[in-house]
Structure 1
Amino acid sequence: MIESIRKRFNEEFSQEKYQAFLKDIASDFDYAPTFRIAETPFFIPKNLQNQIFEGCNQVIDFIKRPDFKQLTQRSIELNTAVPNEDAHTQFLAIDFGICEENGHITPKLIEVQGFPSIFNFQFNLYRKIQKIYPFLKEMSPYPDGIDEEIYLKKLKEVIFGDFSPSEVVLLEIEPEKQNTKIDFYYARRDLGIPLVCVTEVIKEGKQLFYTNEAGEKTRIRRIYNRVIFDELDLRKDLKLQFSFEEKLDVEWAGHPNWYTRISKFILPYLKGPHFIETKLLSELESIPEDLENYVLKPLFSFSGAGVIFHVKKEDVEAVKDKDLYILQKKVHYAPVIQSPDGKVKVEVRILCLWPEKDESPTIVGNLVRLSRGEMIGVKFNKDKDWVGGSIGLFEK
């Protein structure tokens, strides 16, 4: 969208450079990520950046409301409740589609998650891009006041709290099999945090332990949680020594309840120019006649599971638990990135960190997803180029 930067990038781009870029990423751990990494960053002009941050601040203001927990308690009742919930989330991922409305480019909030994203991969992705395209050092994925040093400091503060890295684990379901394991590898390298599968956790009374690389049983004082309950509920084959629902002597970096509270559940509450008209099915007075202009989404799902894009009346009528689904007005993603052969749509995820002692979350970075398909996501972009995960770069 910044024409001069886009022109220079496209002129300098080549398949050889792109393959060298991918090879550089793969060389860190002798592992190539299983998700597609896009050919280009997204160059974000000041006016769009300001709109995105305005939308983020409005979301943050809502989450900081004194009655936020009361408003979202129903979401906990509908899901797994985990004890020892802290005062506020420590991670925020705020997703905006870059859309066209009345002839203008504008960001529209698609989703909010109180859950960690790929913070460590994005930190390293920017470094890799600069090596291939040095002129991009004049741009930054960090907002004003944030740099690499502050980014890592905030991340460590959130993940480790008052504990040493050996007392904190990154907890996941079979981390070696996850699509995002490149992020885990960078977390282990850059932060010194162990990767532990839920089946490897040892429980003694109310305390949890893991076995470190030296074979020593080590107390887990704090959990950097990457476990999604949707996946855990499906994995009946897994044998755990502990339950997330029991009161344990452990702290959370990313308490699981915030994944439930800060989710599509809050979208119907958000009103304003950067938000999309969203209604709970249970609060619909009548089914809209123009369903072709809506998307039907389950409140609690991960990675687009259960979303119906071409909604029919019978789809709405077939939903039994109407307080678990929303009907959301469609937005029109604008193809704003010029590729060598056509234009590409984009979604920007703003990454925020919120250490326990801070009054508010801090915007620290971003990731972007590029699409040529009907929707953002792998299944809509198979066999296409200039699509996939990347990073947004702001004008300095």
Structure 2
Amino acid sequence: MIPKYRKQFNQEFSDEKYKKLKEVLAQTGGVEQGFRVSESPIFLTKEFEGKLLDASESIINQIKALPAETLQKAVPDNCRVPNDTDQPHFFTIDFGICKSENGEIEPQLIELQAFPSLYAFQKKFEDTFCEVYPFLSEIRNTMPHETFKQHLKDLIVGDENPENVILLEIFPEKQKTAIDFVLTEQLLGIKTVCLTKVKKEGKKLYYENDGKVVEIKRIYNRVIFDELDRIPDLKTEFDFREEADVKWITHPNWFFKISKFLLPLLKHQFVPKSYFLHEFPENENLEEFVLKPLFSFAGSGVNLNPTKEITDAIEDKENYILQRKVTYEPIFEDINGEFSKAEIRLLYIWKENDERPILLENLGRMTKAAMVNVDFNKKDAIWIGSSNAFFGKE
């Protein structure tokens, strides 16, 4: 979308530079990323950035205005965790890059979450793009590294000793996002701990660090709670639903409260109309909508072409939404003259005493497939996978 930078990047691109990009990322994290990294960043105009921020600010205002009871309805009874908080610590919001009826490139809301994303990795990804392609530094994120680090440290570690703070995941070494865990450890000095290794005595939680038993006081939570039931023969000492003397960053209930559950409640030019499945009006055309389960991750369970037979067969209709289809516009040209589509995730943090969240970084995803999730791309395609967006100055 910024011809100057797209042209220069495509001219400078080589397989060797792409290989270097991946090697630097792997060396920094000491582990390969478990997902495909795109060869190219996403270039977006200052005008488009303004549209993104306008939509995000409106959505944040609408969420802040919702009664707490409305948000609590989103939490399934069997997943409710005690000691909830007034607001989430994280807020991420996904927009598809689309074209309006009058031909303008505009964002369209896809989904939103109060769940941490690849904050540490995306900062390193941006740095690495700038290292391999130095000209990108002139349009990079203006937030200084130390400010970025301090924001995350204030949020996740707080006033505690980093030794008493853990990044919690289930079988972290098997997760595609393991590289982000390593980079977070490097950034904040905390340990990544598997849920199966957490010990519980009374209301206190512990983990073992170099043979020493250490109390856990804050949990940077990366476990998707409702997925635990799908792991066969999972044995843990600690159940999220039990009382524990620990501070959640962010509290697990917010995974449900800030989710697709909110989409039917939001209104904005860049928010496609959505309905709960059990409230879908007869005068709407089902073919114009995408069927999505309320609580799924990485695009699982999404049906791009739902039929009445499919929707009628769903028993728990209150756990699904229908969202009006948007058309991603293929505008990101590769070196072969072919075009990719993309979406962008804005990565906010929300400090406990702050009225509004702070935008730290972004995450891009590029595709040539019908769905943006990288698992749906052809193996030999280029300009696909995880990316980072750079915005023009004017």
TM-score under structure 1 length normalisation: 0.96
Name the CA distance, whole Å, in 1 between partners of 2:253 and 2:378.
34
How has the CA–CA distance of structure 1 residues 361 and 149 changed in structure 2, closer, same or farther, with 3 Å as cutoff? same
* Residue number in structure 2 paired with 1:262: 258
* Residue number in structure 2 paired with 1:138: 138
Contact 1:203-1:209 at 8 Å conserved across structures: yes
Partner letter of residue 249 of structure 2?
Answer: A
Q: CA deviation at 1:355?
A: 1.1
Matched, 1:329 2:324: yes
Q: CA deviation at 1:29?
A: 4.0
Pairs aligned (count)? 390
* Residue number in structure 2 paired with 1:394: 391
1:260-339 to structure 2, matched below 5 A, reads 260-286=256-282, 288=284, 290-339=285-334
Deviations 1:317-352 (A, max 9, x none): 111111111111100001121111211101000000
1:72-221 to structure 2, matched below 5 A, reads 72-77=71-76, 80-102=79-101, 103-142=103-142, 146-212=143-209, 214-221=210-217
Counterpart secondary structure, 1:99: strand
* Residue number in structure 1 paired with 2:47: 47
Q: CA deviation at 1:33?
A: 1.0
Name the CA distance, whole Å, in 1 between partners of 2:283 and 2:208.
55
* Residue number in structure 2 paired with 1:229: 225
Matched, 1:352 2:351: no
Name the CA distance, whole Å, in 1 between partners of 2:371 and 2:265.
24
Contact 1:92-1:116 at 8 Å conserved across structures: yes
Name the CA distance, whole Å, in 1 between partners of 2:122 and 2:374.
19
Identity in percent: 44
* Residue number in structure 1 paired with 2:3: 3
How has the CA–CA distance of structure 1 residues 300 and 287 changed in structure 2, closer, same or farther, with 3 Å as cutoff? farther
Which ranges in structure 1 are unaligned for 5 or more consecutive residues? none
Contact 2:342-2:365 at 8 Å conserved across structures: yes
Alignment root-mean-square deviation, CA: 1.3
Name the CA distance, whole Å, in 1 between partners of 2:161 and 2:32.
30
* Residue number in structure 1 paired with 2:245: 249
Partner letter of residue 166 of structure 1?
Answer: E
Partner letter of residue 359 of structure 1?
Answer: E
Name the CA distance, whole Å, in 1 between partners of 2:32 and 2:25.
7
Name the CA distance, whole Å, in 2 between partners of 1:56 and 1:63.
11
Deviations 1:6-30 (A, max 9, x none): 1001000011111111111112244
Deviates more, 1:306-315 or 1:375-384: 375-384
Name the CA distance, whole Å, in 2 between partners of 1:26 and 1:134.
19
Name the CA distance, whole Å, in 1 between partners of 2:242 and 2:378.
42
Deviates more, 1:371-380 or 1:41-50: 371-380
Matched, 1:56 2:53: no
Name the CA distance, whole Å, in 1 between partners of 2:294 and 2:76.
13
Q: CA deviation at 1:242?
A: 1.2
Contact 1:172-1:196 at 8 Å conserved across structures: yes
Q: CA deviation at 1:78?
A: 5.1
Contact 1:108-1:276 at 8 Å conserved across structures: yes
Deviations 1:102-137 (A, max 9, x none): 121110000000000000101111111111100111
| Structure 1 segments (4+ residues) deviating >4 Å | none
Counterpart secondary structure, 1:76: coil
Partner letter of residue 114 of structure 1?
Answer: A
Partner letter of residue 364 of structure 2?
Answer: V
Contact 1:168-1:223 at 8 Å conserved across structures: yes
Matched, 1:70 2:84: no
Q: CA deviation at 1:68?
A: 3.5
Contact 1:98-1:345 at 8 Å conserved across structures: yes
* Correspondent of 2:361 among 360, 365, 376: 365
Name the CA distance, whole Å, in 2 between partners of 1:163 and 1:382.
46
Counterpart secondary structure, 2:73: helix
Q: CA deviation at 1:311?
A: 1.1
Contact 2:59-2:266 at 8 Å conserved across structures: yes
Contact 1:297-1:328 at 8 Å conserved across structures: yes
Q: CA deviation at 1:62?
A: 1.6
TM-score under structure 2 length normalisation: 0.96
* Correspondent of 1:385 among 382, 385, 391: 382
Contact 1:160-1:253 at 8 Å conserved across structures: no
Name the CA distance, whole Å, in 2 between partners of 1:250 and 1:196.
15
